[in-house]
């Protein structure tokens, strides 16, 4: 096991939405300078878990500890104030607002006199553009641009740059590479590594085994809201991880099934609902 300091810990956390139980008895340790990859099929509860860590939801049962102290987040702001920054799976940007205003949403830089605070547009735009360019999106050079005019990947990069900028201790990324091209995805992985080197704890959710294996130090697999496997880098092979990510199914069997189908259907692959 690692000897690095535990920043964030979950002890037997349950989360239900009314009668729907989504998370069961989740216990996890997130260490500084490490990347925890959270894996699992669609609907396994990954986003729900990180929303609980981001202060969006409160755990129904169980404890969350920050630096060993039990905490109950009063809201996303509270979690942010404790240095936990999150990029949520969907949204996160406001199309009709400028890059600068998007970047600083909820944490606007102000200048001003006494009680009259003034939004510091110059400063916001400058920092936003700098941080986004650091992500490799050099096309954004004007903080006044509306985010609606950016591509999906550029928006995602903006959201990540924002979290990196505000993530003092824990950086949570929910499928950050899903909308990205190969180059931008590589960039995000580099940033994850960079954050790790700087001593941040990173929680990284992805459906791509390669991405997970590139950056992960520690892996946790969720199946129907419970931790089905919890292991460290090098303890499992790529095939084993792939099977676990598919919800415990044997992917080799699945592939054979598909081949069988193709033979029976003149070589046409079965129609698959596109994965998100």
Ligand X SMILES: Nc1ncnc2c1ncn2[C@@H]1O[C@H](COP(=O)(O)OP(=O)(O)OP(=O)(O)O)[C@@H](O)[C@H]1O
**Interface with another protein (CB under 8 A):** 51, 54, 56, 75-77, 80, 86, 88, 91-98, 101, 104-108, 110, 116-119, 121, 139-140, 142, 144-146, 148-150
Q: Which residue has the tokens 């999906």?
A: 152
Which segment (43-51, 189-197, 224-232, 238-246) binds Mg ion by CB under 5 A? 43-51
H or E stretch at 110 = strand 110-113
Q: Is the dihedral of CA 124, 130, 135, 139 positive or negative?
A: positive
Residues 20, 142 contacting (CB under 8 angstroms):
no
What are the two backbone dihedrals, phi and then psi, of residue 185, each rounded to the nearest 5 degrees? -65, -45
Q: Which is nearer to another protein, 80 or 157 (CB)?
A: 80
Sequence-separated (6 or more) residues with CB below 8 Å from residue 123: 109, 111
The torsion of the CA quartet 25, 196, 88, 162, rounded to 10 degrees, works out to 150
CA distance 198 to 196: 5
Q: Which does 82 bind (CB under 5 to 8 A by kind): Mg ion, another protein, ligand X, none?
A: none
Closest to 181 measured CA to CA, from 210, 156, 144: 156
Task: Give me the least distance between CB of 97 and another protein, in Å please.
Answer: 5
Burial of 163 (0-12, 13-18, 19+ CB in 10 A): buried
Length of the chain: 276
Token reading at 96? 């009709």
Q: Which does 145 bind (CB under 5 to 8 A by kind): another protein, Mg ion, ligand X, none?
A: another protein
Q: Which is nearer to ligand X, 27 or 89 (CB)?
A: 89
Q: Does 48 bind ligand X (CB under 6 A)?
A: yes
Q: Does 43 bind ligand X (CB under 6 A)?
A: yes
Residues numbered 128 to 157 that lie near ligand X (CB under 6 A) are: none
Beta strands 35-40 and 20-31 are unpaired
Q: Which residue has the tokens 């240095």?
A: 83
- What would you measure as the largest C-alpha separation in the chain, in angstroms? 76
What x/- string results for residues 52 through 91 when contact with ligand X is judged by CB under 6 A? -------------------------------------x--
Which segment (42-50, 118-126, 139-147, 191-199) binds ligand X by CB under 6 A? 42-50
Which segment (4-12, 83-91, 125-133, 247-255) binds Mg ion by CB under 5 A? 83-91
Q: Which does 149 bind (CB under 5 to 8 A by kind): another protein, ligand X, Mg ion, none?
A: another protein
Which segment (43-51, 119-127, 233-241, 261-269) binds ligand X by CB under 6 A? 43-51
CA distance 182 to 146: 25
Q: Which does 84 bind (CB under 5 to 8 A by kind): Mg ion, another protein, ligand X, none?
A: none
Q: Does 212 bind ligand X (CB under 6 A)?
A: no
Q: Which does 71 bind (CB under 5 to 8 A by kind): ligand X, another protein, Mg ion, none?
A: none
Q: Which residue has the tokens 């550029």?
A: 154
Residue ranges that bind Mg ion, judged by CB under 5 A: 47, 89
Residue ranges that bind ligand X, judged by CB under 6 A: 17, 20, 22, 40, 42-48, 89, 276
């Amino acid at each position: 096991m690692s000897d690095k300091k535990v920043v964030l810990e979950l002890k037997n956390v349950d989360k239900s939405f009314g009668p729907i139980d989504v998370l069961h008895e989740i216990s996890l340790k997130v260490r500084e300078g490490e990347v925890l990859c959270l894996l699992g099929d669609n609907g396994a509860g990954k986003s729900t878990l990180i929303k609980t860590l981001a202060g969006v939801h409160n755990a129904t049962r169980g404890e969350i500890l920050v630096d060993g102290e039990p905490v109950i987040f009063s809201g996303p702001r509270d979690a942010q104030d404790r240095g936990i920054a999150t990029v949520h799976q969907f949204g996160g940007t406001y199309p009709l607002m400028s890059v600068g205003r998007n970047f600083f949403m909820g944490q606007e830089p102000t200048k001003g006199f006494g009680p009259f605070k003034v939004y510091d547009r110059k400063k916001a735009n400058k920092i936003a553009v700098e941080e986004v360019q650091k992500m490799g999106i050099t096309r954004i050079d004007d903080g006044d641009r509306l985010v609606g005019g950016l591509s999906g990947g550029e928006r995602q990069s903006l959201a990540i740059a924002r979290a990196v900028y505000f993530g003092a201790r824990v950086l949570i990324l929910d499928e950050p590479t899903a909308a990205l091209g190969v180059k931008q995805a590589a960039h995000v992985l580099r940033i994850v590594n960079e954050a790790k080197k700087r001593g941040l704890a990173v929680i990284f959710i992805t459906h791509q085994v390669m991405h997970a294996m590139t950056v992960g130090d520690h892996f946790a697999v969720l199946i129907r809201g419970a931790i089905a496997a919890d292991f460290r880098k090098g303890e499992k092979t790529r095939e084993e991880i792939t099977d676990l990510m598919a919800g415990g199914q044997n992917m080799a069997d699945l592939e054979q099934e598909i081949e069988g189908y193709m033979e029976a259907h003149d070589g046409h692959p079965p129609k698959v609902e596109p994965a998100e």
